[in-house]
Chains A and B, each alone.
Chain A
């Protein structure tokens, strides 16, 4: 036990001397939180609008007003001819063009079908479907109004959908992305530090020196990894604090459970880091190996950023082999849904199994021989 303690003390002393630790632990999380908290925003997307009003009647102005006052659209410019739409869309200065043909006002007055054209830039499919949806809604409402003014009869029987959004009633994308930052930062920092920590001892030759001492493999592994686990927990508190205090993300579940589950995740990230370090010969290899082979697939296939449900079926099966996937579910379950271990136990079990597996594999590879 005393040997283990000395290894832990040594690791902390080294960590304190490491100049990289401040930028890594403070700057990285802060930049990521700002980016994901503010930039990753799909909420109220105002769509840049180009107007081609060939009618210039009171009726057409009313339709245009409906678009501009809707807060969905921002009027970027006005053109006279349809052929002038192209340059706007090509240069990306407008995503959607509303073309009101000549005779719109006359048609409305005569109760004939008035013509309107909506042109969308499909190159950004998200923006396009958003814009199309907004335009659709405004035009349908205007249609309904036009029909209603002509129709003397009373209310029609209609199906009305009453939506109730749970967990995130205002549909803030921030609530989706900010907890994800915690998972990503934990993964990146603890794994990279763990993999480089051991590889650096390989590079400077102290590992060989240690191998000739009576220290046991598990003492060395646990001693080297536990400071990073502590660091991971500090990061958890830090990021959770900012997420709740600054970004207003609710923490509806138990903080204790979050910490316990984070420890299970740390088994995975530290185990993977150790595994990388048993394979890599220098710090650069360790860095690249962690980044490309392990971290990127983990982050993109975990559902942290891109929903797993939208992936092709084959890939969906692959995601079951991604430990971060389970942590992502747990994280959102605890933060937004406020659920407990009674719901999350399958994920917790999977996370623990993967973690123990990685650590065992790494320990087997990590022998006290050269």
Chain B
């Protein structure tokens, strides 16, 4: 134990003397939290909308007013009839153009179905889908009011009660704020980032400088060296988590609703696995540049894209889903994090996720140790 400690202390001293690494470990997570927190936002608001109203009736004006009044849209231009809409969308001046044809109001008054056309820029498919949903919703709202009105006029009001009384309830995040959804994902991502990269780079650097050979000549067991290397980064990464949680609370008002010890336990398990992955990389890579690239490709991108952080895993092709089960421990950790931070749960419902992570950690550490030892020969 004392030998492990000696290596750990040496490691801490080295880290504290290397301001760039320290900056990477502490500054980078903060920078990314702010970046992601503000940039990564799928909440579609203030959609740039242009209107070409060829009817100019009270009905057409009502439709436009309801769209703008919903606060979802921002009217960027009123296009005169006959203007070039194509060019308007090409330049990206608006995301959607609403075209209300002549006789729009007249048709409605005559009891006919009246069509309005919505041109949507589909380049950003996510935004386009959402915009379509908004417009349909607002139109449905107008229709419902009109239906109610006409039923009342006809004296058939009792029919309204046949409609399903539908009450949506959003749990955990009633206002559906993105930041509540982002913070757990960010923690997983940033931990993967600092833990994998810092371990891999620090071991490979010792390899490059030849100091690793020095350590191996000393009467130290492989486990001492590995543990000694892991412990300081475990501590620093945990400090990083605390920092992220504090920043999330200050900047985005996100609080941890579940018990802290459970969060701590799950985080430690995840971290040890991530550090192990970093060690494994260091046994493969010969130079820091290579270690960095393997780290980015094998840990960062998968955690960002395959963990369910940004994109639902269930919609991915089968092979990628299988990869995510085996190589992306963040998918398990993320479920736990959302449970504890957002849903206020404890660790008990997540025993299976914990078990998966434990297996991953065990396998990765064993592999790393075996490879590390083999390189001695």
Using a CB–CB cutoff of 8 Å, the interface residues on chain A facing chain B are: 20, 23-24, 27-28, 31-32, 34-36, 38-46, 48, 74, 87, 89-92, 108, 111-129, 132-133, 135-136, 139-140, 142-143, 146-147, 150-151, 153, 155-169, 171-173, 175-176, 196, 283-285, 287-288, 292, 296-297, 300-301, 305-307, 309-312, 315, 329, 332-333, 336-337, 339, 343
Contact = CB atoms under 8 A, between A and B. Distances in A.
Contacts of B78: none
A288 B136 contact: no
Contact of B119 (A142, A164, A292): A164
A118 B139 CA distance: 22
A45 B314 CA distance: 8
A284 B315 contact: no
A215 to B, nearest CB: 26
A48 to B, nearest CB: 7
B170 interface: yes
Interface string B306-333: 1000111011110010000000000000
Given A125-B180, A176-B124, A310-B42, A158 B167 contact: no
A166 B164 contact: no
A310 B342 CA distance: 23
Contacts of B222: none
B120 to A, nearest CB: 5
Given A39-B305, A122-B173, A128-B170, A87 B120 contact: no
Contact of B117 (A114, A162, A300, A315): A162
B353 to A, nearest CB: 8
Interface string B328-356: 00000001001100110100011000000
B117 to A, nearest CB: 5
Nearest to B176: A125
B20 A284 contact: yes
A27 B297 contact: yes
Given A41-B315, A121-B171, A125-B178, A90 B345 contact: yes
Interface string B38-53: 1111111111100000
Contact of B315 (A46, A90, A112): A46
B338 A292 contact: no
B92 to A, nearest CB: 7
B171 A119 contact: yes
A343 B91 CA distance: 6
A137 to B, nearest CB: 8
A125 B119 contact: no
Interface of B: 20, 23-24, 27-28, 31-32, 35-36, 38-48, 63, 87, 89-92, 95, 107-130, 132-133, 135-137, 139-140, 142-143, 146-147, 150, 154, 156, 158-178, 180-181, 184, 201, 205, 287-290, 292-293, 297, 301-302, 305-306, 310-312, 314-317, 320, 335, 338-339, 342-343, 345, 349-350
Contacts of A172: 125
Say what secondary structure dominates the interface of chain B: helix
Contacts of A151: 156, 159
Contact of B305 (A35, A113, A150): A35
A50 to B, nearest CB: 12
A333 B154 contact: no
Nearest to A139: B166
Contacts of A156: 111, 146-147, 150
Given A90-B343, A140-B140, A315-B38, A125 B127 contact: no
Which residue of A87, A169, A171 has the most chain B CB atoms within 10 A of its CB atom?
Answer: A171
A23 B293 contact: yes
Given A122-B173, A165-B122, A45 B167 contact: no
A150 B67 CA distance: 31
Given A113-B161, A125-B177, A333-B90, A161 B38 contact: no
A168 B128 contact: yes
A157 B38 contact: no
